[in-house]
């Protein structure tokens, strides 16, 4: 009976975390769908570009703090030591990453300026909104690491529910008021993550069970490697639509159709961080205790689930997503079925990469994963820019970029498994 109760609790936690991630994805997509009917084609392009960029830079970089803090707090919990030093280190690391993001935003100004154009008033205003979104992301991810490490999945999911609620409320208010300012819609995307920090900062920062003093856990280089891997990982899922749009400036309808399809079919990617937050403490404990049999069994079960889910996702991509693109996002053109299928398949392949990534992170090998995702991003960019048929280039870039990540992870894992 205790085992059954424990399984039920784990299942309930997984469902809560998963549903909160889908809520955030749904809130963002609702905002994009409503905005498409108010800000015009140019404004929608700017809003979508901001959405993709803030997911690449904001979620990519600051999820690294959550990733490493989750592992360090889980280790402190397993060894019975205090986690205060881990939390303080996470705060310092977040501050340093914010500085790095600010520098990155400034350096990218020559590239982002033409994208945003005059829709956000001026280039400084656009850069300010990117910085504001980065701060909001930093605050929310700083909260989530300790919650996941202590397996407080109710509050962990609550941070995403708060973000989703803020996004939905803001989008509905703007839609009902008939607001046509692109800046207002971008501001909702930028500020939504702050609601979690405002509402849940106090319960989330409550220290864990007292114990002997522990160390600060992950070092700054480890967090930096995690930031590289997550930044490159987000790039794999976000850059292809941007490159396709830039190459199809004379055919905006086709570009919009591809971007819409890609944004819809990347929806499961938003679930990956929560899956990792749920699996990483367990993988860390299995690795720390040398329970290789349980680890292999868990990975096999996850692989079966990914194959089944991936097959269903490909079918939905072919038969359902075009209808959704027309109905929800008012797309006038959608890519052919084979492109839809390959984009969906790339998401399933990315799920395999995420499982391998979690194993390597549990072994404190973020550098290996960072190299894998960087290679994948390089493959994507090279193909997306070089292949003459634009839609084929973007599709193959994303698909083979994901394949490259899985291959590199498999290669770097092999020496550890055979020793």
Collapsed DSSP state (helix, strand, coil) of residue 8: helix
Cα-to-chain-centroid distance, residue 405: 16
Task: Clarify whether residues 214 and 227 are in a common domain.
Answer: no
Q: Is 406 domain-assigned?
A: yes
Residue 2, token pair as written in the block: 């205790």
Q: What burial class does residue 210 get, using C-beta atoms within 10 Å of its C-beta: 0-12 exposed, 13-18 middle, 19+ buried? A: exposed
Which pLDDT score is estimated for 212? Answer: 53
Selected residue with higher pLDDT from 340 and 282 = 340
pLDDT-based confidence at 2, cuts 50/70/90? Answer: very low
Residue keyed to tokens 């399809």: 261
Which pLDDT score is estimated for 316? Answer: 96
Share of the chain above pLDDT 90, in %: 26
Give, rounded to a whole angstrom, the gap between the first and last alpha carbons of the chain.
38
pLDDT tens figures, 306-331: 999 999 999 999 999 999 988 888 77
Cβ atoms of 153 and 9 within 8 Å: the answer is no
Long-range contacts of 271-274 (CB under 8 A, 24+ apart): 271/18, 271/21, 271/22, 271/25, 272/350, 272/351, 272/354, 273/21, 273/59, 273/63, 273/66, 274/17, 274/18, 274/20, 274/21, 274/156, 274/157, 274/160
Return the closest-CA partner of residue 30 out of 383, 243, 328: 328
User: Of 200, 218, 236, which residue is a domain's last?
Assistant: 218
Which pLDDT score is estimated for 371? Answer: 92
Quote the number of domains for the chain: 2
Residue 418, pLDDT above cutoff 50: no
User: Of 176, 201, 218, which residue is a domain's last?
Assistant: 218
Residue 84, pLDDT above cutoff 90: no
What single DSSP character describes residue 363? T
| H or E segment and range at residue 9 | helix 2-36
Residue 7, pLDDT above cutoff 50: no
Which pLDDT score is estimated for 1? Answer: 42
Which pLDDT score is estimated for 281? Answer: 78
Q: Is 401 domain-assigned?
A: yes
Task: Clarify whether residues 194 and 244 are in a common domain.
Answer: no
Q: Is 7 domain-assigned?
A: no
Task: Clarify whether residues 259 and 210 are in a common domain.
Answer: no
Task: Clarify whether residues 140 and 249 are in a common domain.
Answer: no
Q: Where are the alpha helices (DSSP H) in 58-216?
A: 60-79, 84-107, 109-116, 123-149, 153-177, 182-191, 194-204
Residue 217, token pair as written in the block: 């856990």
Residue 391, token pair as written in the block: 């839609």
Residue 148, token pair as written in the block: 């996941």
pTM: predicted TM-score of the whole model, two decimal places: 0.77
Task: Clarify whether residues 231 and 213 are in a common domain.
Answer: no
Summarize the confidence of residues 76-84 as an average pLDDT: 71
Length, in residues, of the chain: 419
Cβ atoms of 85 and 223 within 8 Å: the answer is no
Q: Is the dihedral of CA 187, 189, 195, 197 positive or negative?
A: negative
Q: What is the mean pLDDT of the chain?
A: 82
CA–CA dist 60, 53 (Å, integer):
10
Task: Clarify whether residues 192 and 235 are in a common domain.
Answer: no
Cβ atoms of 83 and 72 within 8 Å: the answer is yes
pLDDT-based confidence at 416, cuts 50/70/90? Answer: very low
Task: Clarify whether residues 372 and 237 are in a common domain.
Answer: yes
Task: Clarify whether residues 100 and 30 are in a common domain.
Answer: yes
Task: Clarify whether residues 266 and 340 are in a common domain.
Answer: yes
Which pLDDT score is estimated for 211? Answer: 53
Q: Is 307 domain-assigned?
A: yes
Cα-to-chain-centroid distance, residue 89: 23
Q: What burial class does residue 412 get, using C-beta atoms within 10 Å of its C-beta: 0-12 exposed, 13-18 middle, 19+ buried? A: middle
Q: How many CA atoms lie within 13 A of 163 on its CB side?
A: 29
Q: Is 4 domain-assigned?
A: no
Collapsed DSSP state (helix, strand, coil) of residue 250: coil
| H or E segment and range at residue 394 | helix 390-418
pLDDT tens figures, 101-142: 888 888 877 767 666 766 777 778 888 888 899 999 888 888
Look up the domain containing 206 and give its range.
15-218
pLDDT-based confidence at 5, cuts 50/70/90? Answer: very low
DSSP states of 316-330: HHHHTHHHHHHHHH-
Q: Is 240 domain-assigned?
A: yes
Q: Is 8 domain-assigned?
A: no
Cα-to-chain-centroid distance, residue 216: 26
Selected residue with higher pLDDT from 264 and 11 = 264
Give the best-scoring range by mean pLDDT among 58-67, 168-177, 385-394. Answer: 168-177
Task: Clarify whether residues 170 and 301 are in a common domain.
Answer: no
Angle ∠(293,305,22) on CA atoms, nearest 5 = 120
Summarize the confidence of residues 192-212 as an average pLDDT: 68
Q: Give the gyration radius of the chain's Cα atoms.
A: 21
Task: Clarify whether residues 168 and 157 are in a common domain.
Answer: yes
Residue 386, pLDDT above cutoff 50: yes
Which pLDDT score is estimated for 49? Answer: 79
Cβ atoms of 309 and 348 within 8 Å: the answer is yes
Task: Clarify whether residues 160 and 45 are in a common domain.
Answer: yes
User: Of 155, 185, 218, which residue is a domain's last?
Assistant: 218
Q: Is 10 domain-assigned?
A: no
């Amino acid at each position: 009976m205790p085992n059954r109760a424990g399984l039920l609790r784990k299942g309930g936690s997984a469902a809560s975390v998963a549903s909160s991630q889908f809520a955030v994805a749904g809130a963002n997509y609702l905002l994009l769908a409503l905005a498409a009917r108010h800000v015009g084609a140019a404004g929608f392009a700017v809003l979508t570009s901001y959405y993709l960029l803030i997911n690449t830079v904001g979620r990519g970089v600051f999820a690294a703090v959550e990733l490493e803090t989750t592992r360090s707090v889980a280790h402190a919990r397993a060894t019975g030591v205090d986690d205060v030093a881990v939390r303080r280190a996470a705060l310092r690391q977040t501050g340093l990453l914010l500085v790095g993001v600010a520098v990155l935003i400034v350096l990218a100004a020559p590239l982002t300026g033409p994208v945003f154009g005059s829709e956000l008033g001026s280039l400084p205003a656009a850069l300010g909104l990117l910085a504001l979104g980065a701060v909001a992301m930093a605050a929310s991810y700083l909260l989530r690491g300790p919650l996941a490490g202590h397996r407080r999945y109710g509050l962990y999911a609550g941070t995403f529910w708060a973000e989703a609620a803020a996004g939905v409320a803001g989008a509905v208010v703007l839609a009902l008021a008939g607001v046509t300012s692109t800046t207002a819609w971008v501001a909702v995307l930028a500020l939504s993550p702050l609601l979690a920090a405002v509402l849940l900062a106090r319960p989330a920062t409550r220290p864990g069970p007292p114990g002997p003093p522990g160390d600060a856990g992950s070092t700054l280089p480890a967090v930096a490697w995690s930031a590289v891997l997550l930044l490159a990982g987000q790039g794999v899922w976000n850059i292809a639509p941007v490159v396709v749009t830039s190459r199809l400036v004379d055919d905006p309808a086709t570009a919009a159709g591809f971007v819409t399809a890609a944004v819809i079919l990347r929806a499961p990617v938003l679930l990956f961080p929560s899956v990792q937050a749920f699996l990483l403490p367990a993988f860390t404990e299995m690795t720390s205790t040398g329970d290789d049999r349980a680890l292999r069994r868990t990975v096999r079960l996850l692989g079966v689930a990914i194959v089944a889910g991936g097959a269903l996702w490909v079918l939905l991509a072919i038969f359902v997503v075009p209808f959704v693109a027309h109905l929800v996002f008012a797309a006038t053109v959608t890519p052919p079925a084979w492109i839809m299928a390959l984009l969906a398949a790339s998401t399933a392949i990315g799920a395999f990469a995420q499982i391998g990534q979690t194993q390597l992170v549990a072994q404190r090998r973020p550098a290996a994963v960072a190299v894998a995702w960087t290679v994948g991003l390089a493959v994507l960019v090279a193909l997306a820019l070089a292949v003459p048929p634009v839609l084929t280039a973007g599709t193959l870039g994303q698909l083979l970029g994901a394949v490259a990540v899985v291959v590199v992870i498999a290669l770097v894992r092999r020496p550890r498994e055979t020793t």
